[in-house]
Structure 1
Amino acid sequence: MVEPRTPHFPSSFPASPAPARQQPGMTQIPQARPPQLSRKVTPPPTSAADQSVGPEEIEPRIPTNVIDAPTQRFYAVAVFLTIQAVKIADIAKLYTGDEGDSISELMFCFKWVAIDGLFFWFLPFMRIPWLTFSPSTTFLQIFGFFVINMCFSFKYSLVPFGSIWYSIWKTIYDRELSLSERSVKIYDITHNSSHIQGKYTVHILPEGAAMLNPDQNCYCLDDTSSSSIVLPIRINGTEPLIIQLMKADFETGELQMIDIKEKETKKLLKQAKRYEDPNLRYLQYTVKSPGLYRLTKVRDISQLDVRITQSEALVVQCPRASIQVADAKKRDRCSGDLSDLSVAIEGLAPLDIKYSRIVKDTPVMFQVSRIYTENFQSPLLSGWNKKESLLRDGTNLKWGRRETINMPLNEALSSPGDWTYAIDSVRDACGNLRSYTRESEDGERLLPKAEHLSHTFTVHGRPQASFLRCDPLNPMSLPPGRETSIQFNLDFQKGDGPYTLQYAYSPHENAEPGDKAIEPVVKDVKIKTQTSGITINEPGLYTLKSIANKYCQGDVMEPSTCLVITPPKPSVAITHENILDKCSASSVGVTIDVTLVGTAPFNLWYRLIRDGATTEVKKFVIDRTRYQATITPSTAGHYVYEFYRLDDKWNEGLILDHTKLRVEQTIKPLAGATFADNVSITRKACIEQPVEFKINLQGIGPWKLKYDLIHAGKRKHFEMKNITEPVYTIRTPSLNVGGKYGLALVTVEDVSGCQIFLDSEAKIDVRFEKPRAAFAPVDGKMSIRALEGKEVSIPLRMRGEKPWALRVRNLDFPNEPPIVQTVEESNSHLRVKNAGRYELMDVKDVAACPGTITDTAKSFEITWIERPTLRLSESAVQKREREHLYVRKDVCEGDEDAVELGFTGSPPFHAQYLRSIKVDGSTTTGRKKLEDVRAGNYVTTVRLDTSSAGQHRYEFVSIADSLYDDPKEARLPKALVLSQKVNAKPSARFADTPGKMYRYCRDAGAGDDIIPIQLTGAPPFQLQINIKHHNTGKNEIVNIPAIETNQFNFKIPPHALTLGSHSVSVLKVRDSRGCVRKTAPQDAPFVYVAVADLPTITPEETRNDYCVGDRISYSLQGSPPFVVEYVFENVVRKASSGARFSRVAPGPGNFTITGLLDSASDCKVHLQLTKIIHEIPSVRISEGTKGIHEGDQAEIHFQFFGTPPFTFTYTRSEIPRKGGKPRVMEQHSQTTDEFRYSMYASQEGTYEVTSIEDKYCSYSAKGRK
Structure 2
Amino acid sequence: MHLDPVNQRLLTLAAFLGIAATKLQHIFLAWAAPPSELQEAALGARHLLLWCLLDTVFLGALQIAQVPKLCFSKAKILGAWFAFMVLNVGIWGKVAGRNEAVDDGYANGPVLSDVYPKPAVLNSPYIIGSHLVHVRPPTTAVLNPNSDSFCLAPASPTATIPLQIKGTPPWLITYEHYGVDGTYRLFENITLTGVDSLSAEGRAKKGRRIESYPIVVDAPGVLRLVKILEAGGMEGNVIKNVTDVVACPQAHFIVPDKGSGIEGEPIDRCVDDVYDFEIRVSGTPPLLARYRKKIGDKESIIAVPFAFREGAVGSEPALNATAHPDAPADTHINDEIRRRLAATRRRDQTVPIHLKIESPLPHFFKIVAITDGQNNTFEYGFEQLPPAASVLVDQQRSQKGTLVQSPEPGDALLLQGRPYPSARFASCENAKLRANYDESVSLPVILEGNGAWSLQYAHAVSDRAAAIGNFSSPITLPPILTPLHDIQVSTPGVYTLIAVSDRYCKGVPDLPLSCSVQQTVSPSMKLSTTTIEEACVGTIGTLVNVSMTGEPPFWIEYEQSRIGEKPTTKRIQAEKPRHTMRLQPTEPGTHFYSFKKVLEMSHGLGWDLTDLWGAGRRGLMGDLNYPEGVDVLNLTFTQIIHPQSNARFLRPQKMIRCLGDAAELVVALDGNGPWTLKYDITSDTGARSYVKEGIVDPNVVIEVNDLERAGNYMVDLTEITDANGCSRSLQGRAVPIEVLAQRPSAHFQCLKPISFLEGSTAKLPTSLSGSGQFVLRYRNQADPSNIITIKQAKKIDGIDIKTPGTYEIVEVRDEHCTGQVVSPQTCD
TM-score category of the 2 structures, normalised to the smaller one: 0.3 to 0.5
Q: TM-score, normalised by structure 2?
A: 0.43
Please report the TM-score for the alignment, with normalisation by the length of structure 1: 0.29
Decide which structure has greater helix share: 2
Q: Is the radius of gyration larger for structure 1 or structure 2?
A: 1
Q: Larger strand proportion, structure 1 or 2?
A: 1
